[in-house]
Amino acid sequence: MTERRDPDALIRRAGRGNPDFDQHFLVDDRVLDRIPTYAEAFDRSHVLEVGPGPGALTDRLLAVADRVTAVERDPDLAAHLREEFVDAREAGRLTVIEGDALDVELPDYTCCISNLPYSASSELAFRLLPEGEPTVLMFQHEFAERMAADVDDDAYGRLSVSAQHYADARVVEEVPKEAFDPQPRVRSAIVRTTPRDPDYEVDDEAFFLGFVKALFTQRRKTVRNAIRNTGHISGLDDPEAVVSAADEDLLRKRPGNLPPATFAELAALAAEHGDPS
């Protein structure tokens, strides 16, 4: 096995991360070594890495993957990666795409393994999850907990329902601040997502996700009042008709007590009776 690159040496060659630009580079060798193992059950023949920074995780991914595509927004870091891993690039094993992962065209990949920038965690997660490929992703700890939370958990919310619409999500490791340079102000966690079809039907995915978002803006209200108060968000022209058509026991509950399948049933009812615009 090729000797691993030292993360601190990579940072010295690349330039220290700027926390103002959300650059917190993972430097703990033990965490770096473990991350690819969480994807051992996945096809790692072509790994997508978003936000590779100086390349410490890229180095580990190249040791287990046939090919790696790294998407880096920072032009200086992209140039560093091309130089640092010139042998892998010339061998056709590494492709560096310079650009924002929210905007660039993603290649056909078999799984995504990344330390994501916190400021774009939600946008990036929901760029990746609909792709239908498995992921191992580093998030802010609170975001990770919300993503994997079960119904009735304190952390359960819009993020839980939306993420689990696409995949099973599980927190596989908590990561301390000391594992990064510069250190973030919060703890981190690694989430593994395994794609699967939901156990319910959704005719209009955009409306379903928007409806979930709307009701969770009123998470402390009953479902009855949440529907009534959020027509301007969900796009319902007649929320009162939805309330009239819904089951009374359901209307007494709060959004945090509804599993994804019940949200899907309620969204279908809303689409049928609420005259969504």
Q: Which residue has the higher pLDDT, 53 or 2?
A: 53
Residue 147, both tokens: 């993503």
Domain with CATH 3.40.50.150 in the chain: 7-195
Here the contacts of 87-96 (C-beta below 8 Å, separation 24 or greater) are 88/62, 92/67, 93/62, 93/65, 93/66, 93/67, 93/68, 94/58, 94/62, 94/67, 94/68, 94/69, 94/70, 95/67, 95/68, 95/69, 95/70, 96/70, 96/72
Q: What is the mean pLDDT of residues 183-211?
A: 95
Q: What is the pLDDT of residue 275?
A: 85
The pLDDT confidence band at residue 277, using thresholds 50, 70 and 90, is: confident
Residue set of the binding site for S-adenosyl-L-methionine: 24, 26, 51, 72, 100, 115
Q: What is the pLDDT of residue 118?
A: 86
Domain with CATH 1.10.8 in the chain: 205-273
Percent of the chain predicted with pLDDT > 90: 91
235-263: per-residue pLDDT in tens?
A: 999 999 999 999 999 999 999 999 999 99
Q: Which residue has the higher pLDDT, 182 or 99?
A: 99
Q: What is the pLDDT of residue 16?
A: 72
**Does residue 129 surpass a pLDDT of 90?**
yes
Residue set of the binding site: 24, 26, 51, 72, 100, 115
Q: Which CATH architecture has domain 205-273?
A: Orthogonal Bundle (1.10)
Whole-number Å distance between alpha carbons of 194 and 170? 9
Q: What is the pLDDT of residue 21?
A: 65
Could you tell me the pTM of the whole model? 0.94
pLDDT, averaged across the chain: 95
Is residue 88 a contact partner of residue 67, using CB atoms and an 8 Å limit? no
Q: What is the pLDDT of residue 152?
A: 85
Q: What is the pLDDT of residue 81?
A: 97
HEC per residue, 125-151: HHHHHHHCCCEEEEEEHHHHHHHHCCC
31-76: per-residue pLDDT in tens?
A: 999 999 999 999 999 999 999 999 999 999 999 999 999 999 999 9
Q: Which CATH architecture has domain 7-195?
A: 3-Layer(aba) Sandwich (3.40)
Phi, psi of 172 (to 5 degrees): -105, -15
